Structure 1
Amino acid sequence: MEKAVEMEESTCSSSSVEDQGTPLRPIFCLKKKVDLKIFDDIYDCFILDFDPVEPIPSISNLSVSSNDDLSVVAEKGQVACRDYPHSRHLCLKYPFDTTPHENFCHMCYCYVCDSVAPCKYWEDPKSAHCHASEHIDAWKLKRSLGKNQPPPCS
């Protein structure tokens, strides 16, 4: 399968240049950054129709919109804080800063108890574990104290 390269070609048509014996060469204008390496290997000189310093936008930087020009139809790979067990404050499905802390996905676990969410203290009026985060020292202390206790007898 051949790769289509978008470019424009210009030539000078001055008769005085031809009279002096200077060869006319086409000047290429490169339209897409992805073709830069190919052109750089082949041609000594060409015009860039874009800013070479500006990064190519990635899919992760795109926001969901109703724009018909682009549709993301698939995603490859797994995301740690969505597809694997994670502490509630790291959940991607229910961002900690913008959703009620009581919400949790099927992969969330309690930061303090290290158990599947919701734990028995998840919405406790005195110490609701749903609000626990590694960024608050009091929660870190409760977590470390819980790890030092022996497991309950069953």
Structure 2
Amino acid sequence: MSALKEQLTAAMKDAMRAKEKARLGVFRMALSAIKQIEVDERIEPDDARVLALLDKLIKQRKDSATQYRDAGRPELAETEEAEIVVLQEFLPTQLSDAEVDALIDDAISQTGAAGMQDMGKVMGILKPQLQGRADMGAASGKVRAKLN
């Protein structure tokens, strides 16, 4: 079992004991998504895969919160944002902009990227380094800007 899955399971048990319904729901949702991967793909996801899943869940919550705010439902947006905070507890510490820029420069020099046609190579190197530690969309924009 991956260490992140174990942490989520332990946090779920703690939330049950403390009768924290909101946190408990978030943990159950995350563990359910992990279980679905296990059943669908017949694999035991490693920490990298669980981290990618948590990233995906956070992105979904951010999108939902934005849509709720646009629709004039701030109470639902606040619920989504509270879930984001709970999920972020399990992500590694976020990288600063300077650290992301340094990793991008390093990846560009490693691949010898000269233009936009090499963006896939650069992102292939960056993705495992940035997964869960930085916003991939923002990193992609920075790579695009540097390659142009």
- What is the TM-score with the length of structure 2 in the denominator? 0.24
- Which structure's residues are more often helix, by fraction? 2
- Which structure's residues are more often strand, by fraction? 1
- What is the TM-score with the length of structure 1 in the denominator? 0.23
Question: Higher relative CO (CA 8 A, sep ≥ 6), structure 1 or 2?
Answer: 2
